[in-house]
Structure 1
Amino acid sequence: MTFVETHTGRNDLPTRDFSWMVDASAKRFRIHTQAYVGEDVYKAELERIFERTWTYVAHESEIPTPNEYVTSYIGDQPVIAVRDREGVVRVLINRCVHRGAALCREAKGKTRAFICPYHGWSYDTSGKLVGITDRNIAGGYDEDFDAPEGLYRVPKVDIYRGFIFANLDPDAGPLLDHLGRARDIIDLKLNMSPVGEIRLVSKPYSVRYKGNWKFQAENIVDQYHFLFVHSPFSKLQTKYGESTGDFGVHKAGKSHAERRNTRYHGDTYGCSQGHGLAFQPESDPENLKQGHFAEHFARLSEKYDEEMLCRIGGKCAAAIFPNLGMIHHQIRTWRPLGPDLTEVTVYPYELVGLDDELNAGMLRSQERFYGPSGYGMPDDVDIFSQNTEGLRGRAVEWLILERGIGSDVETENGDFRGLPASEACQRGLWRKWASAMKGIEQ
């Protein structure tokens, strides 16, 4: 059975053109409401985007030794990311080939074999079928039974600096081509470590919100919203400073203007691959010689020049199309569960080789803003729900994403560079979305 044969029969979705929902020109960029709320749009996204794009599924630090695994998703399809007994990283569809039961119900673990809870068929960690229970007993299988080879192996798996990506499209281009400029964000984040590595050791946490998955992809690189959606937090931070557990994150001035200037600097990018990137280098190298990380940056200065050190010591964030986010000291993923339901999972990470006290401080700052009882996550979830409620007003058809469009500059590789509060990031996502959602001519 081939991949194509198992992914057909979705009515007319493969031929329908949804790209008209992005109305874009030199000075105009509007998105139709149905691009966020349409059930048919959502089903087409699963097929045209999530089944044909490099998707982040796990980090190597989660499966450091043979036979370790984590469960994950490609769109709505459950997968297992596993390091087999030979040490090869594989991504397998989490479905028994017999009667379709999910094999793994745990988020992570270590095993020599995946055993189906329904009828006991077993598979080794490479996905090979190694056992059929009671094969020749009491109405079992004939000697010439055409047994399947094993679990479906996702045909494309690649790793960039520990980030494991998978692609269900066997004809997909190279991962590095898909990442493009997004590699800069990954590199800056990891190069904060003395040895250039991160590890996921804290238990991740998840939240579900009533809204479309693209709200999260847009929001994580949206500089414009912070002082409005997170206004109460910003005021508390201004008043109490480091006593809130800031640990060098979300620094703010004493006035609204100072807080705005703190956030509105650097560049944004809307990439041709659909990524949104935000870069905020440290403007004053002397600031790196102060605070919790002063000694750490002194050591890094022996490895990097001043310009690169300011980039590493500044802030940056990414929405890597279609499902991966990086901001501060965390990896974030989002999983579509329907046109109006999304699951977001946050994975705080440690910098390998960094002092334990500094890693602990970074984790505390994560808990303060992004944790289940933090200030930031509830704000964002609430605004996504408000967006969803507002979009019920279908009498207004279009949303406006034109902030900064006149100042965007197209680069030689097709990316658009924007000012810090531009919606260039969001426009990059939607250009890629429109390209992927074009119909097939009949």
Structure 2
Amino acid sequence: MSRTPEIDVGDYVREIPGQQFLVRTEAYTDEDVFELEMKHIFERTWIYVGHETEFPSAGSFKTAYVGRQPIVVIRDKEGKIGAFFNRCVHRGATLLREHQGTVQEMRCPYHGWIFDLAGRTRLVSERGDPGGYGANFIEPEGLLRVPRLESYRGLLFVSLDADIQPLASYLGELKTVIDAKLDLSPVGRIAIASKPYVCRYRGNWKLQTENIVDAYHFMHTHGAFVKLQAKYGDSTGDFGVHKGRSSREMREQRFRGETWSCRQGHGFARVPAADPGYLLDGEFGRMYRELLDRHGEAAFAGITSKATSTVFPSMGMIHQQIRVWRPISVDETEVLIYPYEIEGAPDAFNAGMLRSQERFYGPSGFGMTDDTEIFARVTQGLRASSVEWLVFDRGMDSDERTESGDYRGLPSSEAPQRALWRAWKKMMQQASKHA
């Protein structure tokens, strides 16, 4: 039996500034809470649905979800990208089920209605047959368009809230991370050139949101990988990611830099390059020297830093990948990992980075398997619901609040996780008022 009706959802997060930050167990396990999240968080925020390079020509499409609502993003014959609810306006069948592909039109497999690439109704099948549609039939104009679709530097987001703030404003301080990652390209662009690696785990979607920006867990959750790296160094092809060193050196590296808690719910952790000079004199020194000349020292420091980030509620960027997570149910989540290429970079650079990501994030890698095992263990542990709270206090006493209302924390602070929960509480309190 759900306990949600007995508890004010707004009371699921308790914060004593600078001292204590607690989250109620039911925030991860209660089915009623999950239903509220789908309606009052996922349908009222910006949700990442793809990158412009995934739509190279007319008819290129990709299916996605806003919470649990299916949508299709597609490029029309005029070159414009549009987003529609993936549902025939006749009897509700899903039009496109493949993850992505190319079509000449969108045809309903149930009764054969056809819609063009701009979503307009082009054919109502057997319209004049006996028992068909008469003279008074009001033909639907076409598919229902998703209210908002915007792009930031090629990253496509949609929202079901027609009145939501512009995407650039919503991203806030996180734009500094996105800009730095894209400015690693000599031409300022990235490209997604392959299908994603897809996995599912038993656990709530917020576990992935918390984890991708959690510097605290790495030496523990990925302990076996740390020992492997310490023994074999870069012979496993690290390409500068999770670079092989002794455990002490790896720990020191992870306690450098900063973390951020953004008021919109985003979080990020940023670690400066250990030796920028090594990059300038290394195999790809020419590319890095050109970047330094173009952007200057301050921006170059950001471009060469290692940053992990999350866009509230369900998209992240880490190393050279975009990651998306989709809630299936209160205790099941799908994760899609999209490696991307740096346009204008040497082929060897992109190939090396891809090999590095396969080593840690791919199906036979260490990272995702370690994390999903931990998510399963957390989900199992949360069944001990008599333990009422989870603790997110780390670094609160040293977080600094900025003039914009964001928080800047030390390297392993749980500031990014608190960003999620502050935004979550605000939106869920609004949901409770309308319940």
Q: Does the pair score TM above 0.5?
A: yes
Which residue of 2 is the match for residue 288 of structure 1? 279
Tell me the secondary structure at the aligned position of residue 23 of structure 1: strand
Letter in 2 for 1:136: G
Distance 1:102 1:441 in 2: 30
Letter paired with 1:306 = E
Is residue 2:230 matched to residue 1:246? no
Match of residue 69 from structure 2: 77
- Which position in structure 1 is the counterpart of 2:318? 327
How far apart, in 2, do the equivalents of 1:88 and 1:336 lie?
29
What SS does the corresponding residue of 1:307 show, helix, strand or coil?
helix
- The Cα shift of 1:166 comes to 0.4
Write out aligned runs for 1:274-423 (5 A): 274-423=265-414
CA distance in 2, matches of 1:441, 1:82: 34
Aligned partner of 1:3 in structure 2 is none
Partner AA of 2:63 in structure 1? T
Give TM-score scaled by structure 1 length: 0.94
* Deviation of the 1:293 alpha carbon: 3.1
Corresponding residue for 2:257?
Answer: 266
Code of the residue aligned with 1:361 in structure 2: it is: G
Q: Which amino acid aligns with 2:227?
A: K
Amino acid at match of 1:440: K
What is the identity, as a one-letter code, of the residue corresponding to 1:330? Q
Question: Is it true that 1:181 corresponds to 2:173 in the alignment?
Answer: yes
Q: Answer yes or no: is the 8 Å Cα contact 1:55–1:166 preserved in 2.
A: yes
Select between 390-399 and 59-68 the one with higher mean Cα deviation: 59-68
Determine the C-alpha separation between the residues in 1 that align with 2:8 and 2:37: 12
Kindly state the Cα deviation for residue 64 of structure 1 after the two structures are TM-superposed. Answer: 2.1
Deviation at 1:78, TM superposition (A): 1.0
Q: Secondary structure at the match of 1:127?
A: coil
The one-letter code sitting in structure 2 at the alignment partner of 1:75 is: G
Alignment partner of 1:180: what SS?
helix
Alignment counterpart, residue 212 of structure 1, candidates 182, 204, 211: 204
Query: For each residue in 1:22-65, what CA deviation from the matched residue of structure 2 results, as whole angstroms up to 9, or x when unmatched?
Result: 01121110000000011001000000001010110111000022
Any conservation in 2 of the 1:283–1:310 contact (CA below 8 Å)? no
Cα 1:292–1:248 shift into 2, 3 Å? farther
Match of 2:87 among 61, 81, 95: 95
Aligned-partner residue type, residue 133 of structure 1: S
CA-CA distance at 1:294 after TM superposition: 2.4
Q: For residues 8-23 of structure 1, what are the structure 2 equivalents within 5 Å?
A: 17-23=8-14
* Offset from partner CA, 1:221-249 (integer Å, 9 cap, x none): 00000000001101111111111110111
- Is 1:231–2:231 an aligned residue pair? no
CA deviations 1:366-399 (Å, max 9, x no partner) are: 1000001101110000000000000000110100
After superposition, the Cα gap between the structure-2 partners of 1:112 and 1:342, relative to the gap in structure 1 and judged at 3 Å, is same
Structure 1, 212-221 or 76-85: larger mean CA deviation: 76-85
Provide the residue aligned with 2:433 in structure 1.
Answer: 440
Distance (whole Å) between structure 2 residues aligned to residue 309 and residue 116 of structure 1: 50
CA contact (8 A) 1:274 1:428 kept: yes
SS in 2 for 1:386: helix
Partner of 1:9: none
Mapped contact 1:252–1:262 kept (Cα < 8 A):
no
The CA distance in 2 between the partners of 1:441 and 1:85, in whole Å, is 42
Q: Residue 131 of structure 2 corresponds to which residue in structure 1?
A: 139
Show the counterpart of 1:4.
Answer: none
1:441 is displaced (CA, Å) by 6.0
> Could you say which residue in structure 2 is the equivalent of 1:125?
117
Query: Residue 267 of structure 2 contacts residue 415 of structure 2 at CA under 8 Å; is this kept in 1?
Result: yes
Provide the rounded CA distance (Å) in 2 between the counterparts of 1:418 and 1:71.
37
User: Structure 1 vs Structure 2: percent identity of aligned residues?
Assistant: 50
Shift of residue 288, structure 1, vs aligned partner: 2.1
Q: Name the SS for the 2:61 alignment partner.
A: strand
Distance in 2, matches of 1:252 and 1:32, equals 38
Do the aligned residues in 2 keep the contact of 1:369 with 1:376 (CA within 8 Å)?
yes
Q: Match of 1:156, as an amino acid?
A: R
Stretches of structure 1 that go unaligned for 5 or more consecutive residues are 1-12
Q: Is the 8 A contact 1:268 1:422 kept in 2?
A: yes
> Shift in Å at residue 290 of structure 1?
4.3
Return the alpha-carbon distance in structure 1 between the equivalents of residues 67 and 418 of structure 2: 22
Structure with the higher helix share, 1 or 2: 2
Aligned to 1:152: 144
Give, as a single letter, the amino acid of the residue that structure 2 aligns with 1:105: R
Q: Which moved more, 1:65-74 or 1:120-129?
A: 65-74
Instruction: Determine if contact 1:31/1:400 at 8 Å carries over to the other structure.
Output: yes
- Report the CA distance between 1:19 and its aligned residue: 1.7
Task: Give the superposed CA RMSD.
Answer: 1.5
The more displaced of 240-249 and 256-265 is 256-265
CA–CA separation in structure 1 for the residues paired with 2:292 and 2:14: 47
Structure 2 gap segments, 5+ residues each: none
Distance 1:276 1:195 in 2: 27
Cα drift, residue 309 of structure 1 = 1.3
Q: What's the offset of the Cα at 1:105? A: 1.5
Distance 1:412 1:432 in 2: 18
Indicate if the aligned counterparts of 1:285 and 1:306 stay in contact, CA closer than 8 A. Answer: no
Q: Is residue 37 from structure 1 mapped to residue 29 from structure 2 by the alignment?
A: yes
Which whole-Å deviations, capped at 9, do the CAs of 1:47-90 have from their partners, x for residues lacking one?
00010101101110000222211111111111111111111111
Contact 1:207 1:345 in 2 (8 A): yes
Q: Answer yes or no: is the 8 Å Cα contact 1:277–1:316 preserved in 2.
A: yes
Distance 2:104 2:59 in 1: 6
Q: Which residue of 2 aligns with 1:64?
A: 56
Contact 1:156-1:167 at 8 Å conserved across structures:
yes
Shift of 1:17: 4.7
